[in-house]
């Protein structure tokens, strides 16, 4: 079996802060991290490999420094790592990203032995753009079924059985065949930390395969900014609305004051 | 396609460097220069006061699309247990406004099984037309059947705008439909307006955990698709309207789907609906213990409110996961949000900053939540909350008299 895990490098969102005085971005030392859900995706792939045997390829599209997240994936235990990097990929929206990722997967699929199965695992969303669109669009591009928001995953013979959560009121158990793309929620597992020897291997024994637009034989009209139907037209920092009052006095006074304000605001 | 800085125009003001999230611009000798890390997001282009930065696209070799063939606004209905999701009525409200601006029809598209008796009621929320695809299997959600049916309908009718609730279900099928018809799709929008001249839909959405808003457009292709966050727009008041109802029977059966629903496990839980609650009282680590969390519940009780928790409160088992507000929990926008013993980490804030009025009770005057709050009380919640409960009860009884 082959397992593809798509991982994305994102700015550690917790560090993106707004300076309230100047209303601008405080961007000092924003560290880049592996999208948290993608670590759950890696963990799932590793646990499948441990149970049933599989070869895991981690794939990321991004600038050269996205190499870091692939090294981390290698250190956790994935077998191969592919970085899709090319200036021509810049500015990609989810349509262009999923197309580019699909080219890499198709390229590797050529190695697939007869009757060998494969699955693709994505995170349910990336915390920077927060779209959750790349998974389903990638499944469409590969022409395979998808199951999103997965919190439990199992392989039984030729079948894949998953629990999908759309709402808190119900869990839907779905059965499908190979190949399939799933996107995982953080509830599915707790990602492992790389071991010391894993880290050493990731930097010394394993390598990262670089793929650019030419090696992927990408259609220029479908990648990067040109392949994107959506365009960012404007980016702005939201204005904070309303007054900000810190109440003072004794507890009784503060509570009194709060209630009066809430009455005025027609809440109480 | 490329991005470049006009060296003659650039004044070296640095606004571009400040807004860029990717270290994609640097100041070199007081002139902005694009670095290798640029991902062409365009933030700098907009922020530049002298229009010195331009992104140029290559003329697409592919044939340009004839946008004028696409007309009409569509809302796709989501339903669960035979009930239409509230977001659908909210979208009809917004959809009416967009359709009026564009002078086109508004259609509601339902894929379902048992809605024959409800169509009349649905027609009171602003639509000009209801397209009802009926098939017994569609009482449940099948990803592939939704995608197949919707794509066929889109190719046949060519709507120019399609709005879908940004619920997990909407976010499951919308991207796949978008890919199949090669349409742009903007996720989780919180603002929608029309640029009349170009008929472009201007889609505003939070990004980077809500710290930054982005307005997205889809100028070169149609339909323009967007998923829209529930709870943002308001439904119209019900009114009688003339509505064309198109009912089409489909004879789908189980074999038409590649996946099979094996079973549906109902989770019998106290029904909570944070997303639609008017008042939410949330407790964080500062509440101190599971025992103390009862205080939060009591306050919620007397305000008829729902209870929320920060991730820490959930992790400490003071409250169940369903109640978590924030990046990995629920996004809420109540009229009143009272944060008790919550520091205001960005992952929490992104889930609640849409609240109309935010009250924070925190004993640390430096807690970030106090900067966000409309009313902040610096104090020990164990003393403040009982006092607040007392006061509210008093107000309530006074009102009754
Ligand atoms: C990928 C990721 C996703 C995350 N998702 C979420 C999410 O969805 N939701 C979420 O909430 N968090 C999330 N977090 C965690 C988040 O970063 C914070 O750790 C968390 O929100 C902090 O919770 P808290 O405010 O309850 O606790 P703390 O940060 O510990 O704050 C406790 C506060 O209580 C105050 N306090 C203490 N005692 C009292 C008292 N007696 N009276 C009054 N005030 C008191 C303290 O001054 C302090 O400000 C996420 C983190 C990551 C990395
Ligand atoms: N540039 C990328 N490279 C690799 N995987 C990606 C990339 N962008 C998105 N993904 C995958 O798609 C998921 C959803 O991302 P998004 O649609 O951006 O929210 C992520 O969790 C990743 O698994």
CATH no. for residue B338? 3.40.50.1220
Residues B248 and B287 in one domain: no
Does some domain include residue B6? yes
Residues B224 and B311 in one domain: no
Residues B47 and B73 in one domain: no
- Evaluate if residue B302 carries a pLDDT over 60: yes
- Evaluate if residue B171 carries a pLDDT over 80: yes
Residues B100 and B212 in one domain: yes
- Evaluate if residue A59 carries a pLDDT over 50: yes
Q: How far is the CA of A10 from the centre of ligand 2 (A)?
A: 10
pLDDT band at B327 (very low <50, low <70, confident <90, very high): confident
- Evaluate if residue B346 carries a pLDDT over 60: yes
pLDDT band at B397 (very low <50, low <70, confident <90, very high): confident
Q: How far is the CA of A116 from the centre of ligand 2 (A)?
A: 25
Residues B99 and B138 in one domain: yes
Considering only residues 192 to 231 of chain A, which have any Cβ-Cβ distance to chain B shorter than 8 Å? 220-221, 224-226, 228-231
Question: Any chain A CB within 8 A of the CB of B169?
Answer: yes
Average pLDDT on A126-145 reads 93
Nearest CA in chain A to B384: A251
Question: Any chain A CB within 8 A of the CB of B137?
Answer: no
Does some domain include residue B181? yes
Residues of B in contact with A90 (CB under 8 A): 38-40
- Evaluate if residue B391 carries a pLDDT over 80: yes
Contact A69, A60 (CB under 8 A): yes
Q: Interface pTM (ipTM) of the complex?
A: 0.83
Best probe residue, ligand 1, of A8, A13, A14, A37 (max atoms within 8 Å of C-beta) = A14
Residues B41 and B160 in one domain: no
Percent of the residues in chain A that have a pLDDT greater than 70, as a whole number: 92
pLDDT band at A254 (very low <50, low <70, confident <90, very high): very high
**In B92-243, where do the E strands start and end?**
106-112, 129-134, 161-165, 184-189, 191-195, 200-207, 212-217, 224-228
Question: Any chain B CB within 8 A of the CB of A85?
Answer: no
Planar angle of CA A175, A52, A161, nearest 5 degrees: 10
- Which ligand lies nearest the alpha carbon of B286? 1
A167-172 long-range contacts (CB < 8 A, ≥24 apart) are A167/B80, A167/B167, A167/B168, A168/B267, A168/B269, A168/B272, A168/B322, A169/B80, A169/B266, A169/B267, A169/B269, A169/B271, A170/B264, A170/B265, A170/B266, A170/B267, A171/B264, A171/B265, A171/B267, A172/B261, A172/B263, A172/B264, A172/B265
For B396, the domain range is: 274-400
Q: What domains can you pick out in chain A, each with its CATH number?
A: 2-222 (3.40.50.620)
Does some domain include residue B269? no
| Alpha carbon separation from B99 to A118, A199, B201 (Å, rounded) | 45, 56, 11
Domain count, chain B: 3
Q: CA–CA separation, A79 vs A57, rounded Å? A: 6
CATH no. for residue B135? 3.40.50.620
Across A11-20, A219-228, B16-25, least confident range: A11-20
Nearest atom in ligand 1 to B381's CA: 42
- What is the model's pLDDT at position A40? 97
Residues B221 and B93 in one domain: yes
- What is the model's pLDDT at position B329? 82
B223-277: per-residue pLDDT in tens? 999 999 887 898 999 999 999 999 999 999 888 888 888 888 887 665 678 888 8
Averaged pLDDT score across all residues of chain A:
90
Average pLDDT on A66-87 reads 96
Using the 3D structure, point to which of B209, B224, B253 is the last residue of a domain. B253
CATH no. for residue B47? 3.30.70.20
Averaged pLDDT score across all residues of chain B:
91
- What is the model's pLDDT at position A236? 79
Average pLDDT on B337-350 reads 91
Does some domain include residue B376? yes
Residues B84 and B219 in one domain: yes
- What is the model's pLDDT at position B63? 55
Does some domain include residue B62? no
B181-214: per-residue pLDDT in tens? 999 999 999 999 999 999 999 999 988 766 678 8
Tally of CB atoms within 10 A around B397: 9
Does some domain include residue B136? yes
Question: Any chain A CB within 8 A of the CB of B62?
Answer: yes
Residues B221 and B88 in one domain: yes
Q: How far is the CA of B13 from the centre of ligand 1 (A)?
A: 37
Residues B52 and B81 in one domain: no
Average pLDDT on A134-148 reads 97
Higher pLDDT, A70 or B40: A70
Residues B50 and B94 in one domain: no
- What is the model's pLDDT at position B62? 47
Average pLDDT on B60-84 reads 86
- Evaluate if residue B308 carries a pLDDT over 80: yes
Residues of B in contact with A240 (CB under 8 A): 372
Nearest CA in chain A to B85: A167
User: CB neighbours of A157 closer than 8 A, spacing ≥ 6?
Assistant: none
- Evaluate if residue A20 carries a pLDDT over 50: yes
B78-81 long-range contacts (CB < 8 A, ≥24 apart) are B78/B164, B78/B165, B78/B167, B78/B169, B78/B170, B79/B110, B79/B112, B79/B115, B80/A167, B80/A169
Higher pLDDT, B45 or B401: B45
- What is the model's pLDDT at position A31? 78
Q: Which of A18, A63, A229 sits opposite B184 (nearest CB)?
A: A229
Does some domain include residue B259? no
Does some domain include residue B290? yes
- What is the model's pLDDT at position B61? 44
Percent of the residues in chain B that have a pLDDT greater than 90, as a whole number: 69
Average pLDDT on A207-227 reads 95
- What is the model's pLDDT at position B210? 66
Residues B279 and B232 in one domain: no
């Amino acid at each position: 079996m082959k397992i593809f895990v798509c991982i994305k490098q994102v700015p550690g969102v917790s560090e993106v802060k707004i300076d309230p005085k100047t209303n601008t971005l405080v961007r000092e030392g924003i560290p880049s991290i592996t999208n948290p859900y993608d670590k759950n995706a890696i963990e799932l792939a590793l646990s499948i490999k441990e149970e049933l045997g599989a070869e895991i390829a981690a794939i990321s599209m991004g600038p050269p420094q996205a190499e870091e997240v692939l090294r981390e994936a290698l250190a956790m235990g994935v077998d191969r790592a592919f970085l899709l990097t090319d200036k021509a990929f810049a500015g990609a929206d989810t349509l262009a990203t999923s197309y580019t990722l699909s080219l890499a997967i198709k390229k590797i699929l050529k190695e697939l032995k007869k009757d060998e199965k494969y699955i693709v695992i994505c995170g349910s969303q990336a915390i920077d753009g927060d779209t959750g669109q790349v998974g389903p669009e990638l499944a469409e591009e590969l022409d395979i079924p998808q199951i999103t928001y997965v919190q439990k995953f199992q392989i039984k013979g030729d079948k894949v059985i998953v629990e999908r959560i759309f709402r808190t009121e119900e869990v839907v158990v779905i059965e499908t065949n190979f190949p399939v793309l799933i996107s995982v929620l953080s509830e599915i597992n707790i990602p492992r930390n790389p071991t010391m020897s894993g880290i050493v291997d990731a930097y010394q024994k394993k390598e990262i395969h670089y793929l650019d637009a030419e090696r992927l034989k990408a259609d220029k009209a479908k990648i990067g900014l040109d392949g994107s139907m959506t365009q960012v037209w404007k980016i702005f920092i939201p204005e904070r609305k309303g007054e900000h009052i810190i109440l003072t006095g004794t507890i009784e006074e503060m509570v009194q004051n709060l209630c009066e304000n809430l009455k005025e605001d027609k809440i109480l | 396609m490329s991005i470049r800085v006009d060296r003659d125009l650039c004044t070296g003001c640095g606004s571009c460097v400040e807004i860029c999230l990717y270290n994609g611009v640097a100041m070199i000798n007081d002139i902005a220069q694009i670095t290798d890390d640029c991902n062409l997001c365009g933030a700098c282009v907009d922020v530049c006061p002298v229009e010195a930065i331009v992104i140029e696209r290559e003329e697409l070799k592919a044939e340009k699309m004839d946008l004028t063939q696409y007309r009409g606004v569509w809302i796709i209905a989501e339903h669960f247990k035979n009930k239409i999701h509230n977001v659908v009525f909210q979208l009809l409200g917004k959809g009416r406004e967009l359709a009026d601006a564009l002078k086109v029809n508004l259609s509601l598209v339902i894929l379902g099984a048992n809605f024959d008796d409800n169509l009349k009621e649905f027609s009171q929320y602003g639509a000009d037309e209801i397209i009802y695809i009926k098939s017994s299997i569609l009482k449940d959600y099948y990803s592939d059947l939704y995608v197949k049916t919707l794509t066929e309908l889109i190719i046949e009718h060519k709507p120019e705008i399609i709005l879908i609730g940004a619920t997990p279900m909407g976010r499951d099928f919308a991207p796949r439909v978008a890919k199949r018809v090669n349409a742009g799709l903007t996720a989780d929008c919180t603002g929608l307006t029309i640029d009349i001249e170009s008929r472009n839909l201007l889609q505003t959405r939070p990004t980077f955990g809500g710290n930054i808003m982005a307005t997205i457009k889809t100028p070169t292709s149609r339909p323009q698709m967007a998923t829209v966050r529930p709870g943002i727009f308001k439904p119209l008041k019900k009114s009688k309207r003339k509505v064309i109802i198109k009912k089409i029977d489909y004879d789908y059966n189980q074999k038409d789907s590649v996946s099979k629903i094996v079973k549906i496990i109902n989770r019998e839980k106290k029904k909570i609906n944070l997303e639609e609650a008017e008042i939410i009282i949330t407790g964080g680590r500062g509440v101190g213990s599971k025992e103390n969390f009862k205080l939060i519940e009591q306050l919620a009780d007397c305000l008829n409110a729902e209870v929320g928790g920060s991730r820490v409160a959930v992790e400490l088992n003071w409250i169940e996961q369903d109640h978590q507000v924030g990046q990995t929990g629920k996004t809420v926008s109540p009229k009143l949000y009272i944060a008790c013993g919550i520091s205001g980490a960005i992952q929490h804030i992104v889930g609640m900053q849409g609240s109309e009025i935010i009250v924070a009770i925190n004993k640390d005057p430096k807690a970030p939540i106090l900067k966000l709050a409309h009313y902040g009380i610096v104090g020990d919640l164990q003393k403040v909350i009982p006092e607040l409960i007392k006061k509210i009860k008093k107000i309530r009884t006074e009102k009754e008299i």
